[in-house]
Structure 1
Amino acid sequence: MSISDPIKLLYEALNLKITIDLENGDSLTGNLVDLDDHMNVFLEDAVIINDKGTKIVKSVFVKGSEINFFILPPALKFVPFLQKKK
């Protein structure tokens, strides 16, 4: 089975700071240290922002089914597989 382009792009973001918007309205920003092909992700040195305030955590696991969208670093637009699609 082939890995989809969104998953490939997430793998390119490993060890970079990303932001995740969740289904429940929370958002998380942290360093992406692991992920799988189901978009389950593991962040370190993360900040969780919700209606209760801001919380800093050493690490957090997020199920892919809880994620609305990712905000990735702008430099990822230069990854080779995206350049080939132009």
Structure 2
Amino acid sequence: MGGFDPAAETEAFRCGIWRLNVSARHQGRGYGRFAVAAVAAEARRRGQDRLTVLWVPGEDGPEGFYTGLGFRPTGQVLGDQVVGEMFLS
């Protein structure tokens, strides 16, 4: 689920990925990478230069997936989720 709301009160929700779920049996086939690339392309088309993502930290969490794509933790946490960002320029 991607979101584009430049007026969102919470900065992390202005241009980002809210949820990305790929069934465990289908992981590793490029579906997640494709989805992130599609959201990033739409963000660029809309003139955005930064994309955010939220993830729950943990050993089995998606942090490695997102950091492998170029996202970096911002140091911000919303609820129990880490906010990551990727610059699109």
TM-score category, normalised to shorter length = under 0.3
Structure with the largest fraction of strand: 1
TM-score normalised to structure 1 length = 0.25
TM-score by length of structure 2 reads 0.25
Bigger-Rg structure (1/2): 1
